[in-house]
Structure 1
């Protein structure tokens, strides 16, 4: 069997995965806090061909998926005027919890629930710098650039709470959990404090960092790559057919 046929199959599989990733990016072009992904490929082990030569004689055996990385470039800011809508200018994530595990949130679309808790749209509690949920809020007075929330509690007293804003050494190693939430992994490194140069902005949301122009360009390239690899398989099949016809 011709190696080119298997190389073509590996190429088609890779570009099919690339199209899946591009499709997901485009589907989330308006998702608050969404961070796009990109696909990286690598060549497979090459086969050495016997014979004397100054240089090595090697034939490649196709390509494989190397990585699907999350791109943490900033998304476009959208001004909402809602005081509980927060975004981070620079590197950083908000810390939230479901009561059992801590997650990193790029979306700062928060709200105050009926019990005075500051929560995400999915009901996850927003954490303060002491890893405790921010609770007992009646009305927020202000949120400064360092993430310090000044609010009036349900008893009418003035209170303050410092938002926990975090990051990790390798943001591409975070695991996507859906709902614009991410989880720490061994590849991402442990959660640490947000850089000092980053700041919290109130009344603004960070939108998706998907660039449709770039995605459509990548889609065309992936489509052409898929077609080219399918042509390799077709050509290999025609060559095998010619070999079979030699007996006639």
Structure 2
């Protein structure tokens, strides 16, 4: 069989994958905290028909003669650039402006995830409301040690607010405070923590706008917002998807034309084989 046919088949598969990635990006154009993906290709092995030769006293050197055998997927990169902020005026909606991720998990700590989607809400458990995600995971932060003031030595855990609190506020450093319903005093309930990674693009998608640490992302380093290169928090706003529709439609056209071109290679190879079969007639 012709080598061009197998090369074209690999091109078809690659451009189909590229189109799949573009489709996922466009589908999530309005998903809170979504990070777009990008497909890149690489060439596969080449068949050496003739090797290179060095120069001699009589003749000059010659270059190698090689035929490429198709292409493959080099990577599907996660683009962790900043998305646009959208104002919601909801206090529990929080966006990160800069680097970092929210850490969310269950109470036991058996399921630990990271996200840029800050569409949080408050639940109700026996007189205490906890800051949770849309899927019910607790937003992890430094909690009040019991004196109404959040200090660096206070433990990490769920951030709870009494249901009798009059109002809640979150500042740019992640400090969650409320007005006590009885005394009217301002009480600090906790401070939202932001996780930073050595390679944030190496995080693994877990679905539902959640990410998990991988072998290549590095371990999460928790800290207060605005410290250690972490971004600041913006309450009453959400970070939207960083998908660039103009770029995605351009990529869609490139993927479609690349698919069509590889299809034509298969058709041309088929015609050559047909001509070869017809030699017997």
Q: Same fold (TM over 0.5)?
A: yes
Instruction: Report 1:1-248 matches (<5 A).
Output: 1-50=1-50, 54-99=62-107, 100-115=110-125, 116-129=129-142, 130-138=155-163, 139=165, 140-152=167-179, 158-193=187-222, 195-196=228-229, 198-248=231-281
Q: Deviations over 1:6-49 (max 9, x none)?
A: 00000000000111111011011111111111111110011100
What is the TM-score with the length of structure 2 in the denominator? Answer: 0.83
CA distance in 2 between counterparts of 1:212 and 1:44 reads 31
CA distance in 1 between counterparts of 2:178 and 2:193 reads 16
TM-aligned CA distance change 1:60 to 1:137, over 3 Å:
farther
Which sits farther off after the overlay, 140-149 or 49-58?
A: 49-58
State the SS of the aligned residue for 1:214: helix
CA shift for structure 1 position 153: 6.5
TM-aligned CA distance change 1:174 to 1:52, over 3 Å:
closer
CA distance in 2 between counterparts of 1:72 and 1:243 reads 52
TM-aligned CA distance change 1:52 to 1:66, over 3 Å:
closer
Segments of 5+ residues of structure 2 without an aligned counterpart are 54-61, 143-154
Q: Deviations over 1:143-169 (max 9, x none)?
A: 121111112468877233111101211
Give the ranges of 4+ consecutive aligned residues of structure 1 lying more than 4 Å apart after TM superposition: 152-157
What is the TM-score with the length of structure 1 in the denominator? Answer: 0.94
Q: Which has the larger radius of gyration?
A: 2
Equivalent residue for 2:152?
A: none
Which sits farther off after the overlay, 50-59 or 37-46?
A: 50-59
Asked if the contact 1:153/1:159 (under 8 Å) is kept, the reply is no
CA shift for structure 1 position 4: 0.4
CA distance in 1 between counterparts of 2:52 and 2:113 reads 58
Asked if the contact 2:141/2:156 (under 8 Å) is kept, the reply is yes
Which sits farther off after the overlay, 161-170 or 224-233?
A: 161-170
Equivalent residues, number: 248
Backbone CA RMSD of aligned residues:
1.8
TM-aligned CA distance change 1:143 to 1:55, over 3 Å:
same
